[in-house]
Amino acid sequence: MPERSLSAAKPALIEKVLLRCAGQCAVCRAWSHQTICDGCLQRYARPQPRCWTCATTLPLALIGRPRPQCGRCLREPPPLDRTVAALDYRFPWDGLLQHFKYHQALELRESLLERLNSALSAAEVMEPDWLLPVPLSAERLRERAYNQSHELTKALARRRGLRCEPDLLLRVRNNATQAGLDLQARAANVRGVFAVNPVGVERLRGTRVALLDDVMTSGATLYELAHVLLQAGVMSVQAWVIARTPEPEDE
């Protein structure tokens, strides 16, 4: 049977029950003491060689090189010192992340964070002074009832002993969704959207910050946030993401 991503639409009642049923793998539905069973992790969560600064997957020939980068990052270096992604945004993670994002499937949080925590340990990242989530606008927060990036950030900050104050970053206007936009349009769509909370500027100045988001597609949102933080006097910015959308040439 061909693989199928879980629907991004509102799940049917039976699918809700299965996703929340203790003892079943959220992917294959086999009985498991974990939210996602070992078999599915072995099959779908294998580490990939990734670009040092944007986390897109790289050819195997670049494995072993110090700080390997993709061609785009070599031509136009992003404002991030490091980007770590745990997974590719494809089956089954695309569907699971959409359930987590839009349907408050909080039972998936620990399994998703375990993937990211393992990727960070393998990458031997420099621990930041702050771990901050990508902020949501007030309108989006009302629609979704919670910020999925904040839920991930506060849990990972506790696990790694990092400072986390989500109000240090602000989304000062509600921009249109990024879906369907090309790279240039995505960058323009987030320009001027974010700001550092004035009461937190001195606390951030001269520190190292890691931004956390669930999915990185073009990188426009994270790059814009990095620019804002660097302009506010932050010393360095990383991005930590659960999943990275594969580049077209990787498909």
Q: Give the pLDDT confidence of 33-66 residue by residue, as tens digits.
A: 899 999 999 999 999 999 999 999 998 766 677 8
Q: What is the CA radius of gyration of the chain?
A: 18
Q: Is the per-residue pLDDT at 138 higher than 90?
A: no
Single out the residue of 156, 151, 194 nearest to residue 172, CA to CA.
194
Q: Is the pTM of this model over 0.95?
A: no
Q: What percent of the chain has pLDDT over 90?
A: 65
- Chain center to CA of 46: 17
Fold of 47-250: Rossmann fold (3.40.50)
Q: Is the per-residue pLDDT at 157 higher than 70?
A: yes
Structure tokens at 133: 């989530």
The domain ranges of the chain are: 47-250
Tally the residues of the chain: 251
3-state helix, strand, coil in the chain (%, to 5): 40, 15, 45
Distance CA 47, CA 116 (A): 11
Q: Is the per-residue pLDDT at 8 higher than 90?
A: no
